[in-house]
Structure formats: C-alpha cells, structure tokens
Structure 1
Amino acid sequence: MNTWIALFRGINVGGNNILPMAKLKSDLESLQLKNVRTYIQSGNVVFDSTARTAAPLAAKIARTIEQRHGFRPQLLLIKPDELRQAIASNPFPEAISDPKSLHFLFLAAPPAAPDIKSLENAESTSERYQITDSVFFLHAPDGIGRSKLAANAEKHLGVVATARNYRTVEKLSTMVSDA
C-alpha cells in the first residue's frame, strides 16, 4: 500500500462545488482506497492505495466525483515524502509562529518559465516568496485575502497550484505520521 495526500481545489468554497467530507470519504472508499481520513471542509484527504502513480489515480477520483456530484474537481496527489520535503524546505521558518500567514502553493509541475517580473510587481512590501520545482512558498503577514501576489501567483507561475496554510500542512503531516 502507498499513502497519498489529496489536495482538492475549489470544493466547498463560496457556496460552490459543495461536497461534504463524509460523502467524499465514502466516494473514495468506493474506489477501494483504504484508511481514508479528511481534514477540514476544503478538501484535504489522506488515504492508502495500491496505486503507484498519481495521474491515473487523480483522474479516477475526479471522474467518480463528477459522475456522483456533477462537477469535476481539480486535485493534486502528493506522497508523504513530498509533503515532508516541502516542510523541510520552508524558507520562512520564523513564520510558523503565525501559521495562517505562511502558505504552501503545491505545484502540479515545475514552473518552466515563471514571470518573475510580474510576481515581483504583485508582491507587497511585507510579503516574501520563494519558488521551488514543487512548491511556491508565500509569507503574507498582512493576510492572504488582500494579497495580489497570492491572487495572481498561479497565473504568473504558469502552472496549476493549490494553496494550503502552514497549519493545514502541519496537520496533514501529522495525519500521515499517525497512520
């Protein structure tokens, strides 16, 4: 068995793509996924599967949700080692004392040609960021809600991304460790 972390994008946000976690858990269990655990309503799931690669499994999950709930969610599947590496690579360790200010934007692929100039122009004076092949780290001490950098990072990176604050990343790591 392999452990996977599913990061769903845009479910249960703003009254759109409503999918209660109990139904999501049931949907995943119907796909023979084991030890399915969810965290908060925004689509964070840890589970075990015999699948060895992410893309076919993600497509199968998205297709099942579309058939049962009428919308096809985007999701990223990452392995526990990838999550641990992201945490270890955090360039802003001092920001973990305010976990809602530190965000990990997990990337679907390495950004081939990020628009650095546009990222810098969107960055406020209090914000800091760093790009790796798999994560865009953002420290936004004034909040992510007003951040032009957060709102436009995906566009300027040129790859699909899904964001989680440090508290969520830390909880997912604990869920994986407790399994």
Structure 2
Amino acid sequence: MNQWIVFLRGVNVGGNNKLPMKDLCDAMQAAAFDDVQTYIQSGNIVFKSLHTSADAVGDAITGLIEKTFGFAPRSHVLSAEQLSKALDANPFARKGQNDPKTVHFFFLAEAPGHKADLDALYDLKARSERTELIDDVFYLYAPDGIGRSKLVDKIEKWIPVPMTARNMRSVYKVAAMAGLEINAPD
C-alpha cells in the first residue's frame, strides 16, 4: 500500500461544494482506500491505496467525489515524501516567522517555470509579506493575514497553474497524520 495526501480545492467554502468529511471517508473506504483520515472540513485527506501514481490517485478521488457527491473538485495529490520535502524547503520555518497562521503553502499542480511572473507578484506584496517559489510550492509569509492581501487576490493570475493553499498549521497537522517527522520551528 502507498500512502497519499490529497488537498482538495474549493470544498465546503461559502456553502458551496458541500462535502461532509465523514461521508467522504465512508465512500473512500467502500472504494478500497485504507486508513482514511481527514483534517477539518476543507478537504485534507491522508490515506493508503494500491495506486502507484499521483495522477491515478487524483483521477480516482475526483471521480469518486463526482459520482457520490455530484461535483468534481481539483485534487492536489502528494506522496508523503513530497509533503516532507515541501515542509523541509519552507523558507519561513524559523524564529520570528513561525506562527502557523502566518505562513501559507500554495501547492501547485506543476512547477510553473516561465509561466510565473514573480515580478508582478512582488509588486503587489505588502511591506510585511515575504514570498518564495520553490519547485511546485509557493510559500507566503503574511504576518498581517491574507484576507486583504493584494498578492493573494492575484496569485493565480501571475502563477497560472492550478493550485490550492493551506496554512502551516494545517500542513503540520496533515503531516503528523501521515506519520511524518516534523521539525516544527521554535
């Protein structure tokens, strides 16, 4: 069995795409996924399956949700190793930038390469915000919050690949559920 982490995009947001996590767990278990665990209602799932590729997992999860719940959210699929790598690469996991509510991981469907206009994003940053794109994860340190961030509002325009975001607290919790050793900042 292979362990997988899935971050669903756009579920249980503003009363749209309602997806009760207990019902999702039950549907996944019935479809031969094992050890299914979820964290909060935003579509964070850790499980084991016989699937050997992220694409196969994403197709299976999206298809299951569409068949069972009537909509098809984007599934961002990571292996435990990929999630561990994203945590280790976090440039903001250090003293002074370690409040889990202020650091955000934007998991990209692929490394954006030349598609990303980081200069345009840089121009939108608030004075307190810091960013870094490492492979297929865009990291944002936003100590004043992301609710009114001009950068967050335009990120998909300047990094035009499918993505979903989680704050550091959620990423740490999901990593712990996956049994990963977490080197949380002091």
| Other structure's SS at 1:76 match | strand
Unaligned runs of 5+ in 2: 181-186
**Structure 1 stretches of at least 4 aligned residues deviating more than 2 Å after TM superposition:** 94-97
**Which of the two has greater helix per residue?**
1
How many Å separate the matches in 2 of 1:117 and 1:45? Answer: 34
Q: How many residue pairs align between the two structures? A: 178
1:60-85, Cα deviation, whole Å (9 max, x unpaired): 21112112211111111101111111
Q: RMSD over aligned Cα, in angstroms?
A: 1.3
Q: Take 2:82 and 2:2, find their aligned partners in 1: how far apart are those partners?
A: 13
Match of 1:23 in 2: 23
Give the match for residue 122 of structure 1: 124
Contact 1:7 1:44 in 2 (8 A): yes
Q: Residues 27 and 155 (structure 1 numbering): CA distance in 2 closer, same or farther, change over 3 Å?
A: farther
1:66 alignment partner in structure 2: 66
Distance of 2:76 and 2:100 partners within structure 1: 22
SS at 1:99 equivalent = coil
CA deviation profile, 1:102-153 (whole Å, cap 9, x unmatched): 0000111000221122111221111000001120000011101111112221
Partner SS for 2:113: coil
Name 2:183's counterpart in structure 1.
none
1:68-147 alignment to 2 at 5 Å?
A: 68-94=68-94, 97-113=98-114, 114-147=116-149
What are the residue-to-residue correspondences of 1:45-64 with 2, within 5 Å? 45-64=45-64
The amino acid of 1:89's aligned partner reads A
Question: Which 5+ residue runs of structure 1 have no aligned equivalent?
Answer: none
Q: Which amino acid aligns with 1:161?
A: M
